[in-house]
């Protein structure tokens, strides 16, 4: 951290760069004995991936975003894209939150536990003073290359429909004009 400017000393990992290697546990179920599974960047191979970060569990904006990603999960699956949610809470806190929040009980994607903050730091998305992940969203192609990044401050939730629209545009591999949506003409 550069204390003179209160900004991270290393920049954010961005477009065209390899998504960092990671290994961490995640919550995948509420069923006793099947709650946890280990994940790594190897799980992202050969598929499009959407990785989104939220600051902390048991907060107010975060469950609205997580629930919206889950509501739109069929749209991601239709695009052969897997979704991963990540915060710096442990897998045990994730499980407790899922058990105690009606909108999170039936999630169809893993809640990854970056409690050591290794992935958040590697991507450069830790808030400089709060030391929790910003609301970052990454679209990663099947080769592990970051193709899109969007980052919101801690208080502002993201637009999941925009993530889907951008994924659609990236998957065309063509030039897409402003406000392009699936089914409309591209420029290529």
Q: What is the CATH number of the domain that holds 123?
A: 3.40.30.10
Whether residue 9 is contained in a domain is answered as no
Whether residue 185 is contained in a domain is answered as no
Handedness of CA 79, 139, 21, 93 (dihedral sign): negative
Q: Which residues pair with 23 in a beta bridge?
A: 40
Give the distance, in angstroms, between the CA of residue 93 and the centroid of all CA atoms in the same chain: 18
Longest Cα pair distance anywhere in the chain, in angstroms? Answer: 51
Is the distance from CB of 122 to CB of 13 less than 8 angstroms?
Answer: yes
Whether residue 82 is contained in a domain is answered as yes
Confirm whether pTM is higher than 0.85: yes
Q: Provide the residue-wise pLDDT of the chain in tens; the chain has 188 residues.
A: 333 334 444 688 889 999 999 999 999 999 999 999 999 999 999 999 999 999 998 887 777 889 999 999 999 999 999 999 999 999 999 999 999 888 888 999 999 999 999 999 999 999 999 999 999 999 999 999 999 999 998 888 889 999 999 999 999 998 888 888 888 888 87
Q: Which of 62, 88, 176, 178 is catalytic?
A: 62
Active site residue 176: no
Which domain covers residue 127, as residue numbers? 23-29+37-172
Count: domains in the chain: 1
Is the distance from CB of 125 to CB of 135 less than 8 angstroms?
Answer: no
Whether residue 177 is contained in a domain is answered as no
Whether residue 152 is contained in a domain is answered as yes
- Tokens 């958040």 belong to residue: 120
Whether residue 16 is contained in a domain is answered as no
Pairing of strands 81-87, 111-113: parallel
Whether residue 180 is contained in a domain is answered as no
The CA distance from 161 to 75, in Å, is: 10
């Amino acid at each position: 951290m550069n204390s003179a400017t209160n900004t991270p000393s290393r920049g954010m990992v961005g477009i065209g760069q390899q998504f960092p290697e990671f290994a961490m546990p995640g919550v995948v179920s509420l069923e006793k004995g099947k709650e946890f599974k280990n994940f790594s960047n190897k799980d992202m191979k050969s598929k499009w991936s959407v990785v989104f970060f939220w600051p902390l569990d048991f907060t107010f904006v975060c469950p609205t975003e997580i629930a919206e990603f889950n509501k739109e999960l069929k749209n991601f699956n239709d695009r052969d894209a897997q979704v991963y949610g990540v915060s710096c809470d442990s897998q045990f806190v994730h499980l407790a939150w899922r058990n105690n929040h009606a909108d999170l009980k039936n999630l169809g994607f893993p809640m990854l536990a970056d409690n050591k903050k290794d992935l958040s730091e590697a991507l450069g998305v830790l808030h400089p003073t709060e030391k929790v992940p910003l609301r970052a969203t990454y679209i990663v192609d099947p080769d592990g290359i970051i193709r899109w990044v969007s980052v919101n401050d801690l208080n502002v939730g993201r637009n999941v429909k925009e993530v889907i629209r951008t994924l659609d545009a990236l998957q065309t591999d063509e030039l897409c004009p402003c406000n392009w949506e699936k089914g409309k003409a591209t420029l290529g």
